[in-house]
Structure formats: C-alpha cells, structure tokens
C-alpha cells in the first residue's frame, strides 16, 4: 500500500480527473504542500503539483518547484531531480515557453528516464517542439521512441502521446490525422474516467481539427461539450480554451464577445501559447466585421507575446495577418468568402457553408480578385498568405 501522504495526493488527483469540486481539490493540495514531512516524498509532490496545475494555478506551481529546488532532500536525489525537471518543463509549456520546456525535456531524456516517465516526457517534448516551430524535430522524437505509428492503448500515458501527435499533425496541415488522434485520446481518457479538460483539452483541439476537415456540426458539439465540462471545473484556462473553440465553430453574432472573454481568461490563466491563437482568431473576426483598428491591435498584441515567449508556431501567420490589414479594404462577406476559397473550398461548398447562392459567391470573389489585383484563386495565397493550420 502507498504511504498515507501519497494516498491523499492520489485521492485529490482522482477528484481533479473527474473535474469536480475544484475548491476542495485546491484546499487538499494546500494541506499536502504545507506538510514538511510530505515535501520530501517525490511521488507525493509530483502528484500534488500536477494537480495544482490542473486547478489552473500555474504561478503557485512554479513557486513550489523553486522551493523544492532549494530543498536538501531534493538536491541530493536523482529521482527527485527527474520529477522536478519534468514539472518545470510542464509549467514552462503551459505558460507558452516551448523553447525552455523542450530544452529541459531533451536533457532529461538524454540522461535517461524510467519507462514510467519516458513516454510522458516524449509527449510533452513533442508539444513543446511544435510550439517552438520545430515540427521536424517533434516528428523525429516520435520516430526515435516508436510512437509515430499505431499505439498500444495500454501504453503508459498514451493519451498524452496521442494529444501531442494531434498537435503535430495540426501544425503540419494533416487535419484528418489530427482529428483521429484527438478523438482517440478522448476515448482513452473516457475509459480512465478522466472528464476534466484541464488534464488534456482534447475536445477543443479536436474541434479545430474538425473545422479544418469541414465537419462543422462535430466541431460545435465537441466545443460545447468541453465548455460544459470546463465550467463545471471552473479553471480560467480551460474555460478560455473552450470558449475559443465554441466561438470559432459557431461563427455567429456572439463569436466576437465569446472570443473577447476567452482572451481575458487565457491571459488570467497565463496560457500565452493559447492566448496568441485566440488573439489571432479574434482579430480575424473583427476584420471580417469591419473593425480593422481593433483587429490590428489584437494582432500586434499577439505578435509581441510570440516574441516574448519565443513562440515559433505563430510569427509567420501573424505577419501575414498584419500584412492583410494593409490590403485594399474587403467587406466582411468578401473576407469570409476569400478565406474559405483560400482554404480550398469550391464555390458550391462556400455557398453551402455561408448559406448563399453560388452566383453570389462568384460575384463576391470577382470583386475580391479585382480589389487585390489577382487573376484567380492562386493569387489569393500570395495576397492573403497561407491559411492557418490550427
């Protein structure tokens, strides 16, 4: 039987996995972290700080890790140091610093980790490398650990591996593969009774993949389910992620206000990587609705955040979006139609998506081509940039 201090940590983690009673979970974590005898137990602290991250308290988790790094019981133990490095890497990743996270995880894997930790470390490394714009390195990491092909559902931390692979597929435009991995991740978590999107926000990730594969009803259902679960749990980051997905999947009159709320919550949750994505999408909607000044402000904020956090995934997209602000003014309808055309939709598919007549789509596209000075769809890519992949 595990010692009592580990039992309490496990019980608290189980509550967090269910996504219920966040206030109680936070209270129990504080009890565990305040007990001096428990602070020397590596597994107890590992579970407690992971659970603290699920509550959304990234700042407190960072503070706890700094204190443990100065604790003599942790300084002299390789086992303690392994877990501490992984926790620091996870905190950096959640805060949007993929470069720092990838460096810590690469060092840990190079030193050698036990099998119970290695798969998780690789999964987090892949996520960090994707955020850093290092998709090729992320793919190599999966290949070198035999995680690029079919996965055994009983593999340790397979849900994290699937989520990381999904993120990689999204970054490289392999949207159907991304959707498959995210939904497989969801099935694994459901089988393990993990309902809390703070553990892995697989539904909102899958919603973006579904949108990219033109499965709008699925995207909206996934996003709505995650929003319900996120509000039940109550962590700002999780609610912000879900609101973002709902806003983009719904794309209606409420979308701008939902995205504005998502931006506020993601900022509150110190989720800079996700905040950049939300700011980009908010700017896109504001531009479509005829508010270029607000759109430019959001894009400039996102670009500054990307520089500060050394984000390699978003700078090119943000530069392209800012460049589009300087193009001849397009109406909201023209922007929506041109974005779909640039993404590969046929005129008929655009008409069905926006509930328009095909001739109306053709009319607006002709107007777009004339304003941009291009001869057809191929010119949209050079004038507007490549469509976002996540």
Most confidently modeled range among 42-46, 84-88, 154-158: 84-88
Per-residue confidence band for 7, with pLDDT thresholds at 50, 70 and 90 = low
Q: Which of 276, 383, 257, 258 is nearest to 330 (CA)?
A: 383
- State the pLDDT at residue 90: 98
> Which residue is listed with tokens 């697989």?
202
- The overall average pLDDT reported for the chain is 92
User: How large is the C-alpha radius of gyration of the chain?
Assistant: 22
Least confident residue range of 87-91, 113-117, 118-122, 239-243? 113-117
Write the pLDDT tens digit of every residue in 221-233: 999 999 999 999 9
Per-residue confidence band for 1, with pLDDT thresholds at 50, 70 and 90 = very low
Per-residue confidence band for 5, with pLDDT thresholds at 50, 70 and 90 = low
- State the pLDDT at residue 323: 80
At a CB cut-off of 8 Å and minimum separation 6, what does 102 contact? Answer: 125, 128, 129, 132, 134, 137
Q: Say yes or no to pLDDT of 128 above 90.
A: yes
In the chain, % of residues over pLDDT 70: 95
- State the pLDDT at residue 6: 67
- State the pLDDT at residue 379: 80
Q: Which of 138, 125, 216 is nearest to 170 (CA)?
A: 138
- State the pLDDT at residue 390: 46
Q: Say yes or no to pLDDT of 328 above 80.
A: no
- State the pLDDT at residue 290: 82
- State the pLDDT at residue 325: 77
Mean pLDDT of 92-116: 96
Write the pLDDT tens digit of every residue in 245-296: 999 999 899 999 999 999 999 999 999 999 999 999 999 999 888 888 899 9
* Cα 13 to Cα 4: distance, rounded to the nearest angstrom: 14
Write the pLDDT tens digit of every residue in 296-326: 999 999 999 999 999 999 998 898 888 877 7
Write the pLDDT tens digit of every residue in 361-390: 999 999 988 888 788 888 887 666 655 444
* Structure tokens given for 96: 């949007």
- State the pLDDT at residue 389: 46
Q: Using CA atoms of 312, 184, 211, 232 in order, give the dihedral in degrees to the nearest 10.
A: -90
Q: Say yes or no to pLDDT of 170 above 70.
A: yes
* Cα 311 to Cα 149: distance, rounded to the nearest angstrom: 27
- State the pLDDT at residue 372: 81
Least confident residue range of 193-197, 252-256, 326-330? 326-330
For the chain, give every domain's residue range.
Answer: 329-390
CATH topology of domain 329-390: Arc Repressor Mutant, subunit A (1.10.10)
């Amino acid at each position: 039987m595990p010692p009592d201090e580990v039992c309490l940590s496990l019980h608290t983690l189980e509550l967090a996995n269910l996504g219920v009673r966040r206030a109680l979970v936070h209270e129990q974590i504080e009890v565990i972290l305040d007990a001096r005898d428990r602070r020397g137990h590596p597994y107890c602290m590992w579970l407690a700080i992971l659970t603290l991250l699920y509550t959304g308290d990234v700042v407190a988790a960072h503070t706890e890790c700094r204190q443990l790094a100065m604790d003599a019981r942790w300084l002299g133990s390789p086992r303690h140091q392994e877990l501490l490095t992984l926790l620091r890497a996870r905190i950096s990743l959640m805060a949007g610093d993929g470069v720092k996270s990838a460096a810590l995880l690469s060092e840990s894997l190079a030193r050698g980790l036990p099998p119970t930790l290695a798969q998780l470390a690789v999964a987090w490394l892949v996520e960090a490398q994707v955020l850093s714009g290092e998709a090729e390195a992320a793919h190599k990491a999966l290949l070198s650990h035999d995680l690029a092909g079919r996965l055994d559902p009983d593999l340790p931390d397979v849900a994290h591996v699937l989520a990381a692979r999904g993120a990689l597929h999204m970054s490289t435009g392999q949207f159907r593969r991304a959707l498959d991995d995210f939904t497989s991740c969801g099935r694994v978590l459901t089988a393990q009774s993990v309902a809390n999107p703070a553990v892995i926000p697989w539904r909102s990730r899958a919603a973006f993949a579904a949108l990219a594969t033109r499965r709008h009803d699925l995207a909206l259902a996934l996003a709505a389910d995650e929003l319900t679960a996120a509000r039940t749990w109550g962590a700002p980051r999780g609610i912000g992620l879900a609101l973002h997905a709902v806003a983009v999947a719904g794309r209606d009159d409420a979308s701008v206000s939902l995205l504005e709320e998502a931006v506020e919550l993601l900022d509150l949750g110190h989720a800079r990587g996700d905040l950049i994505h939300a700011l980009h999408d908010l700017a896109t909607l504001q531009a479509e609705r005829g508010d270029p000044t607000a759109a430019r402000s959001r894009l400039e904020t996102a670009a500054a955040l990307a520089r500060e956090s050394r984000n390699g995934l978003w700078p090119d997209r943000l530069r392209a979006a800012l460049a589009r602000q300087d193009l001849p003014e397009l109406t909201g309808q023209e922007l929506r139609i041109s974005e779909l055309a640039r993404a590969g939709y046929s005129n008929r598919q655009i008409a069905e998506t926006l509930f328009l007549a095909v001739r109306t789509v053709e009319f607006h596209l002709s107007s777009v081509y004339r304003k941009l000075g291009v001869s057809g769809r191929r010119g949209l890519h050079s004038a507007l940039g490549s469509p976002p992949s996540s």
